A = this chain, B = another copy of it.
């Protein structure tokens, strides 16, 4: 048979968007992961290559988010076709940018096209979530859904999954600061309180509601005021030694506001133009460097497209 092959890109994403802890996420233009899938004659799903992971990821089909997602899709669709999978990580693992989600999304998106399955993104979601669950130990859609659908998404509920696309101002830009600090997701979870007061609930729901109002109406000041998290940021800020200083630096360099991306160590910073976003990347990147940490920066709009074919 003719060997078919396709290469796709799936975007990184920011989850835990300020007061949107566990319920909001958005996709970035960059970075993102690339996955190449090709038909093979073995009838098996095989990882042929992984690059950019510094040897951190398993090469076993059942222990990799991309291939677990692909296998879930093939099992459900009763597909016997063998598939070679090459994964090119273009962002740090454990960066807080939805790396495992991007690989899982890229995997199912690629196979959907490779095998002409013609499934909608909505139909692909459960399989990508199954891949992501391998990495996070639970079903979280706040990275997978933005990577798969693009845009700024609100995940209202999981039973059943209820995902709402939130309009964002055209001018909104995001600067990502990814410092070379290792934060284990398990540690970032353990550090959080298990009980909250009524004041916490009121403050968090007020800011979450206001952030949606600010995005929907294009009110930058409101977006900035609302980007306050009551349940994770106060505790996780301690994992980033320069966090408070960086936020002040960002404000004085024209940012709308900043917060932690996912469970860190990356930070995201909103601003109102590419020029400002690039200035923030430069100023904040230099600042983190001065603190003695390696750092990568990215500038992006909200990516409304999601994954795409690149070859």
A residues with a Cβ closer than 8 A to B are 19-24, 154-157, 162, 164, 166-167, 192-198, 200-213, 216-217, 222, 225-226, 230-231
A141 to B: closest C-beta gap in Å: 11
CA A196 to CA B197, docked complex, whole Å: 6
List chain B residues, Cβ under 8 A from A226.
156
- A21-B202, A22-B202, A231-B201 are known contacts. Are A156 and B209 too (CB-CB below 8 A)? yes
Q: How far is the CB of A213 from chain B (nearest CB, A)?
A: 5
Once A198-B196, A213-B154, A213-B166 are accepted as A-B contacts, the answer to whether A204 and B206 lie under 8 Å apart by CB is: no
Could you tell me if A19 and B205 are in contact, using CB atoms closer than 8 angstroms? yes
Assembly CA distance A155 to B211 (angstroms): 12
Contact B156 A207 (CB under 8 A): yes
Bound together, the chains give a CA A309 to CA B164 distance in angstroms of: 41
What chain B residues lie within 8 Å of A200 (beta carbons)?
196, 201
Give 3 closest A-B pairs by Cβ, nearest first. A205-B208, A156-B210, A208-B209
Note all chain B residues with C-beta closer than 8 A to A217: 167, 216
- Greatest chain B CB density within 10 A among A193, A204, A209, A226 is at A209
Residue of B nearest to A23 (CB): B206
CB contact under 8 A between A201 and B156, given known A211-B209, A212-B212, A212-B213: no
Chain B residue at smallest Cβ distance from A207: B156
Set B155, B167, B196, B222: member contacting A201, Cβ < 8 A: B196
Question: Does the CB pair B225–A156 fall under 8 Å?
Answer: yes
5 more A-B residue pairs beyond the given contacts A156-B206, A157-B206, with a C-beta to C-beta distance below 8 A:
A157-B225, A164-B213, A193-B198, A200-B201, A205-B208
